[in-house]
Structure 1
Amino acid sequence: MADSAPYALLFDMDGVLVDNTRYQARAFQLLFREHGLTTNARRLLARLNGMPATNILQTVFRHPVPKKQLEEYASQREFLYRTLYWNHRRELPGLTAFLQAARAAGFRLALGTGSAPETIGYILDHLHLRSYFDVIVGKADVPNGKPHADTFAVAARKLGVPPERCVVFEDAILGEQAAYRARMRCIGVSTTLRAGQFQAPLTVIKDFTQLTPEQVYELLEDTPTAPRPDKALARRQYMQL
């Protein structure tokens, strides 16, 4: 790259490294059925994907649920999800080749996800992806999950790269909002949303066969500043949580 200071690529995990949203939704739906809830999990995740599971679950109960109980429900959902997804774990097309090319081009790489360490391992270690990331930030590493900026802000700090030289790959509106709150630009991945549903990404890709590190560099050069987060959009998505 022309500039000696590095750029960094920050990746969400679910819906970005892997196309697993339908399995996540199915696990939520089974949990809802167990508790007599009629919420449509697919529509719920289209709005709230990227938030910690306990926060998502908090929105579907009409009565207050203690934090410990929400954590138990989240553990049940996690077990269901892993069972459903066990034989379907595979990376998004072109991912490994893109990560290899990005490292060769001088990009620093980080993972920024709302998942717990064991869930991160369930994906990264099975798919042999962990070694590609210089930094991994998950639920256990930040006080506030997405749409707060913490996940990506901490990842950038650990990389030693300023936010204005970071681009985030996200499939969810709340993740995109987290990127903008962290003063970073974003590339959308359309595994969960249609391209037009994102706020202001540099571009939207279906998978990593549609992008090269050189194209990412050009996008960053062409759009030097991050958009302001759309507070009204975020509020509509997560109902003021």
Structure 2
Amino acid sequence: MNVQAVIFDMDGVIIDSEGFWQDSQIEVLAGFGIPITAQECERYTKGKRIDEIARIWGERYSLRIQPQRLEELIVAQVCGSVRSRGMAMSGLYQALRFFQAKGYRMALATSSSRQIIAAVFDRLALWKCFDVVCSADDEHSGKPHPAVYLTAVRKLGLEVGECLVIEDSLNGFIAAHRAGIKTFVVAPDYHEAKFSAAAGRYATLNELIYAMQPVLAGSC
């Protein structure tokens, strides 16, 4: 395996923020008299870009609010939660040190906006950890379209076969798979059939690192 770089998703891989996204959507929509559940957020909006999230809820409930305003309200809530309560996913810093020690470059490819990326990097002190940072906000389409992953590979100056992806959502996994990048899933539901095509499936980053040590040993 000629690995040169590891591309991380952010929400659910780097930071434990899925709950923030769900709570923010629930609270914002409740303000317009629309009750939604965490299960609905999981089903309809997990791993999607904020403009797609706003469009989904707007169309589903015929909201009169402008989509851009809905985006702003949700993003503000998420950023506030990240800055006050955000926590790194278990094994994050160990994973970063592990891959850095192997000489691999680090990239981020997330559906989140630059505003949320900044909140996460500030909270977790990650600014010096990544060589390339890509937001699907800058692409014509968000995940599951592969654009943000292909952009990350291009900015790294590598080929897709020289990169690995770590994802947690189905939309993100599909995006990376469509980009042709070997993808590892780290998620509570890693065992489900929807991730059967992954290169590896694990509950935590620590489990991923343990499994990858013999695999990567000969690629340096």
In the alignment, which residue of structure 2 is the partner of 1:225?
Answer: none
Summarize the Cα distance change of 1:164–1:156 in structure 2 as closer, same or farther, 3 Å threshold. same
Shift of the alpha carbon at 1:208? 1.8
In the alignment, which residue of structure 2 is the partner of 1:87?
Answer: 84
Structure 1 residues 220-239: Cα deviation after superposition (integer angstroms, max 9, x where no partner): x9xxxxxxxxxxxxxxxxxx
Matched residue SS, 1:56:
helix
Shift of the alpha carbon at 1:140? 4.1
Q: Matched residues in 2 for 1:216 and 1:163: separation?
A: 21
Equivalent residues of 2:166, 2:184 under 8 A apart: yes
In the alignment, which residue of structure 1 is the partner of 2:191?
Answer: 195
Structure 1 residues 89-129: Cα deviation after superposition (integer angstroms, max 9, x where no partner): 12112211211220121222100011221210100122111
Q: Matched residues in 2 for 1:214 and 1:169: separation?
A: 14
In the alignment, which residue of structure 2 is the partner of 1:229?
Answer: none
Structure 1 residues 147-182: Cα deviation after superposition (integer angstroms, max 9, x where no partner): 111100000011011112222111110100000111
Equivalent residues of 2:7, 2:163 under 8 A apart: yes
In the alignment, which residue of structure 2 is the partner of 1:24?
Answer: 21
Summarize the Cα distance change of 1:216–1:198 in structure 2 as closer, same or farther, 3 Å threshold. farther
In the alignment, which residue of structure 1 is the partner of 2:160?
Answer: 163
Q: How many residues align?
A: 216
Over aligned residues, Cα RMSD in angstroms?
A: 2.6
Equivalent residues of 2:190, 2:202 under 8 A apart: no
- With structure 2 as the length reference, what TM-score do the two structures score? 0.87
In structure 2, stretches of 5+ residues that fail to align are none
Q: Matched residues in 2 for 1:43 and 1:216: separation?
A: 38
Structure 1 residues 61-109: Cα deviation after superposition (integer angstroms, max 9, x where no partner): 347679x921210110112223334432121122112112201212221
Q: Matched residues in 1 for 2:179 and 2:214: separation?
A: 19
Q: Partner letter of residue 171 of structure 1?
A: D
Equivalent residues of 2:135, 2:148 under 8 A apart: yes
Q: Partner letter of residue 146 of structure 1?
A: K
Equivalent residues of 1:100, 1:132 under 8 A apart: no
Q: Partner letter of residue 23 of structure 1?
A: F
Q: Pairwise mapping of residues 167-182 of structure 1 onto structure 2 (< 5 A)?
A: 167-182=164-179
In structure 1, stretches of 5+ residues that fail to align are 222-241
Equivalent residues of 1:105, 1:213 under 8 A apart: no
Residue 36 in structure 1 maps to residue 33 in structure 2: yes
- With structure 1 as the length reference, what TM-score do the two structures score? 0.80
Shift of the alpha carbon at 1:138? 0.9
